[in-house]
Amino acid sequence: MRLDKERAGKTADEYINSMAKSASPDELRMMRGQPTEAMKMTMFYRYWCLKEAILKATGDGILDDLSRINFQVNMSDRYRPGCFVTSTTVLLDGKLQDQWIFEETFADGNHAAAVCKEISFESLLEHAVVLNPLPNDGLDAYEEFIKKPRKTF
Domain 12-125: which CATH class?
alpha beta
Element housing 70 (H / E): strand 69-72
Instruction: Please compute the mean of the pLDDT values over residues 56-69 and round it to a whole number.
Output: 83
Q: Would you state the pLDDT for residue 116?
A: 96
Q: Which residues pair with 105 in a beta bridge?
A: 84, 113
Please name which of 78, 11, 74 lies closest in space to residue 38, comparing C-alpha atoms: 11
Q: Would you state the pLDDT for residue 89?
A: 96
**Ramachandran angles phi, psi of 25, nearest 5°:** -55, -40
Q: Would you state the pLDDT for residue 81?
A: 81
Q: Would you state the pLDDT for residue 141?
A: 86
Q: Strand locations in the chain, DSSP E?
A: 69-72, 84-85, 89-92, 95-96, 100-108, 111-118
Taking only the tens place, the pLDDT of each residue in 14-44 is 999 998 999 999 999 999 999 999 899 989 9
Taking only the tens place, the pLDDT of each residue in 82-137 is 889 999 999 999 999 999 999 999 887 788 899 999 988 888 788 888 888 888 88
Q: Would you state the pLDDT for residue 63?
A: 62
Q: Which residue has the higher pLDDT, 109 or 146?
A: 146
Whole-angstrom Cα distance, residue 100 to residue 54? 8
Whole-angstrom Cα distance, residue 112 to residue 150? 59
State the pTM of this model: 0.75
Please name which of 10, 9, 4, 48 lies closest in space to residue 28, comparing C-alpha atoms: 48
Q: Would you state the pLDDT for residue 7?
A: 62
